[in-house]
Structure 1
């Protein structure tokens, strides 16, 4: 890992033990003690005598009493564009990028997210998505994460395939290994997210404040650029990404044909399939399928597309992301377990181990296992809602909460 993680408190700089918690391992929940050292999970102690022996041999250890709360691996969010709202909370109100990044990052441990793939869009320009802001933000995160980080900051570059002028930018970032995840998007009218007649126009008018004449000009220009997409060049980008160990995703796919085309470009993750048939077909083709946690929390898609729980229930989705709402990740995990959609270890894997596997970091992140990075969260419940009491990244406590009743 090339992150420069902030050091924790002095008391947590040496050996650490977490005890008296319900530890969620890959396949079960168990009452054990975890020991951490050197930024990694050192051991899992399952016998009271072994716990006592460890404490005796490590008199300066920092002990965290989980007090019967859940101990989970830190959540890995592979798709979240909420940082765009941190930069521009209202139209025409841009905040300084360094301030936005720092303020957004320090919210993430509260939500249990210890690795964030900041999703930055290069393309259509329907919100905060101009090329200059995109490139400035990529460069900022790339510099920032090598100097100091509270969580593990990664970059998910979302490339709109009709944005022909963006091809050299994508290629540069791939060659320089400045991004960690790439998705190919197509937000043109008539397919995917905007397959319903008029839906694209309504979205643009609402978000950009343009009238009918202006939106028709936008649609006409997009249609012309869409016809000029060089799919051979995209295939070259896909090969370059795979050569550099960068996973590729599709976005808002709505048909088997689109899945086949995506797979030919090297796509390994299908994000937000529009319908259940497409999600099932993607799994059959060997793709991982990612659905949004807000969809689970709300019980429906905000665009009236696939219900995430329907896909999860039949094994047609195995990754959760926060999409646009980071606090939904942890809530979705526990809602899946509470409603019997998935056992808690399975639900946790969807937000930790499975994202790590999809992006090739499972040897380092994603589960509670000796030798892996000590990225952990301790989760209590209040009126059935989960909330994080401690967040640990690289063995350091980056957040702890005190509660008064």
Structure 2
């Protein structure tokens, strides 16, 4: 496939939009990123990136230095010379659980008359099946094609995922428009899947909801291992060698979360209900995920609580990690934060450390006291709880932690730690899907 340099406008400089714009510029395209937040545009124009994402700030700086990447305050006229316009605006969960398309539709109405003849409008945001058709109706122009090109970016590895993708999915009723979008990624050498727009929109939901279901399954399996005396690490190691199963998404934890899986599972439930399909399996996966967070609280209460009732009232607990995954500063639908809230509801006093967070984060007010390191979090605590799998937690000084803990116990909800290292330091280890290892 021949590679062309295109003039591209990316509307929205959130997680997806900024990564998309910076990466497309790195592939040689000329990219203008627009956003309604003027202060944010000023920061980005200085290569100041607020998102904690490895490699992203460097790509932004390189794009600015080369002149291939620019940032402007959003206006309808910004699309006037674009060959392609990527819509990367938020589609948050609405009150009914479905995706809220207000921002997508508002931007479409604003720019439709300014789109040049032959322009391709690319839907990058995650949207329900049928949205591309709806946007085409709003555009009301036969000379402008609407194409679905879903993103598959994981926080903490978004740049790598964009530049080394498993596949490129492009959906459109017109072959020419689909091939023009696919050609943007030709230098990546990834498999390209050309489908209709509705199928492309479904691919994103289908993939994320499958992963959520897989995680709910392994969390349920971990509980079964605890009750039956099996070891989840050994069980998943045996499962992972089967190519039909694979090794990914087989680690138990405090539940799944983040900016995508909760939103997408609920959105697919709404899509299913709209066409009269009872997606019982997906509903069970969502319910199991809620229960997993509550189960982690029960596990913590059993290890750190007072009296026969395992009361957490007034119990000081040190918390390691609050972001939804390591390598990010994102607290959106974080299972770690959800567990922390449940602990507070049961009366616990939390002191936490997370390498990606600042003490003034408004999401933490009234929930935890944030400190500068793990040892401060452990000081005088009845126990430690690891909720996010930051790599640095594997190399903590456990004799030092044991010396400051009031209760020599750690509840490792990610099975991140080496139980023998913890045990030798005089601290009991409680994992997920394993029998406890006593000090």
**TM-score between both structures, scaled by the size of structure 1:** 0.25
Whichever structure has more helix as a proportion of its residues is 2
- Greater relative contact order (CA < 8 Å, ≥ 6 in sequence): 1
Larger radius of gyration: 2
**TM-score with structure 2 setting the length:** 0.24
